[in-house]
Structure 1
Amino acid sequence: MAKRIHQITIHLEAGNASIPELGKMLGPIGVPTIGVKRRYDEATAGNRGETIPAVITVAEDRTWVMRLKTPTTTSLIRAIVGSGSARPGHIDGGVLSVDQLRQIAVRKLPDLNTTDIDIAMRTIAGTARSMGIRVE
């Protein structure tokens, strides 16, 4: 691959990437959106309903490489608890058990900047608190 000129992170629905959204992000740099959509949809088809981030690195000769990441922390928490609080800090948005917190931390561990599960759990708990979700 030639010298990297762009690195774009996309957050789209797994297995069903939106062509207009991809076109907005990739069109100005000359990346073929259909090729990206096909590869993204194939790679994420097993996780339909989740939002899977992907980092697309584009070289000066317009070749590109895609690397998938784990789903966003907030989407994993919402899948377990629900939507969270409309007013975090004022209204309770639900409860997340320690076992559920550990489950999310294990799944997010490859994308976090730690290898310690306890530190990863504290990071996930902070995100949950900012969503108005209590951890017990």
Structure 2
Amino acid sequence: MPPRRAIHKVTLQLTAGNTPVAELGKMLGQTGVALIEVKRRYDELSAPQRGDVVPAVVTVFDDRSVTLELRTPPTSFLIKRALNAKGSARPGHDPGSTLTREALRAIAVRKLPDLNTADVEAAMRTIAGTARSMGVTVAGQ
């Protein structure tokens, strides 16, 4: 049997544990895969993170089989959740909320698997940069 060949690869950012089939249909409908099965597998894999936005890399193969690979939630989502607010309406002009060092470290540790570093301090600097671009100040900087 020849090896499977990937024919379609897409990253979806969906709400964990409660994926609407319509959202999957927009991105995967043309591939001919069973959307209900993809939804069921995504909801099952992302159930522990219910309510979070959890990106998934969906790879469709030429035999219509599918693999799902979950990623960590987007950094901006984690920052907003830690603040219980949005960033500044005008970043760089109007100050937004302040993110504590503890919250910054917690976000960095959670994002570590998807970042290109294994150092928590470097990850914290990356997350702090994202926070600054959102108009959020980081305490102690």
Q: Distance in 2 between matches of 1:101 and 1:10?
A: 25
Q: Distance in 1 between matches of 2:91 and 2:131?
A: 10
- Displacement of 1:117 in angstroms is 0.8
The size of the alignment, in residue pairs, is 136
Normalised to the residue count of structure 2, the TM-score between the two structures is 0.93
Q: Distance in 1 between matches of 2:135 and 2:50?
A: 26
Q: Distance in 1 between matches of 2:120 and 2:82?
A: 19
- Displacement of 1:100 in angstroms is 0.8
- Displacement of 1:110 in angstroms is 0.2
Q: Which runs of 5+ in 2 are unaligned?
A: none
CA RMSD of aligned residues (A): 1.0
Q: Distance in 2 between matches of 1:55 and 1:28?
A: 17
Q: Which runs of 5+ in 1 are unaligned?
A: none
Aligned to 1:28: 30
Aligned to 1:124: 127
Percent of aligned pairs with the same amino acid: 57
**C-alpha distance after superposition, 1:41-93 (max 9, x if no partner):** 11112212210000011111111100001111111000011111111111111
Aligned to 2:17: 15
TM superposition outliers: structure 1 runs of 4+ over 3 Å:
none
In the TM superposition, 1:22-61 aligns within 5 A as 22-61=24-63
Q: Distance in 1 between matches of 2:40 and 2:61?
A: 19
The equivalent position to 2:100 in structure 1, one of 97, 101, 118, is 97
- Displacement of 1:30 in angstroms is 1.3
Aligned to 1:66: 68
> Amino acid of the residue matched to residue 50 of structure 1?
D
